[in-house]
Copies of this chain bind each other. A is one copy, B any other.
């Protein structure tokens, strides 16, 4: 194979490093059949940082993301008001990652996740679990819209370890989702719990 021209080599270099930032100058030199110095001149001209800097950049980026993604875990959406065993409200902003690519409509399970999370959170019990649920998507939600979910504990059957939670989700006053959640709980509601 003929050795590439400078232009071709540099274009190729950009690609190669983007694909695998963990490659050393020596490995690159071997791959392109040129000297290490040539690779270094190329990196200079293209403003590509050295291996250690590249690795550090990748690591720092992921480190930030990790910190940000942790609090998302526990509850989908942000709880802005809660009264245990009574009611709760959360908001959820629909972003690009929540919608179908084709039509920019939010996937149902995200709206469900917000409502389900809220139903779990409003129950004053460490071991609340969803047992049954009936839901209805009344209007498609689009990317960029803010969904406000309101949960109401509508009935606590004293005989059984179940609680009903009704959740209604709105976009600007318009109902987009409603769900009735029948929740398991390990203990009955009590006034004076720690």
Contact = CB atoms under 8 A, between A and B. Distances in A.
Nearest to A140: B129
Contacts of A74: 101
19 contacts: A22-B59, A22-B63, A52-B52, A52-B55, A55-B59, A59-B59, A59-B62, A62-B65, A105-B129, A107-B116, A107-B120, A112-B112, A113-B113, A129-B137, A131-B137, A132-B134, A132-B135, A132-B137, A134-B134
A159 interface: no
Interface in A136-153: 136-137, 140
A71 to B, nearest CB: 13
A120 B76 CA distance: 21
A63 B52 contact: no
A2 B28 CA distance: 51
Which 8 pairs of residues, A with B, have the shortest CB-CB distance?
A62-B62, A109-B113, A108-B130, A58-B59, A59-B59, A134-B134, A109-B116, A55-B59
Interface residues of A, number: 41
A136 B132 contact: yes
A133 interface: yes
Given A129-B140, A132-B137, A140-B129, A22 B116 contact: no
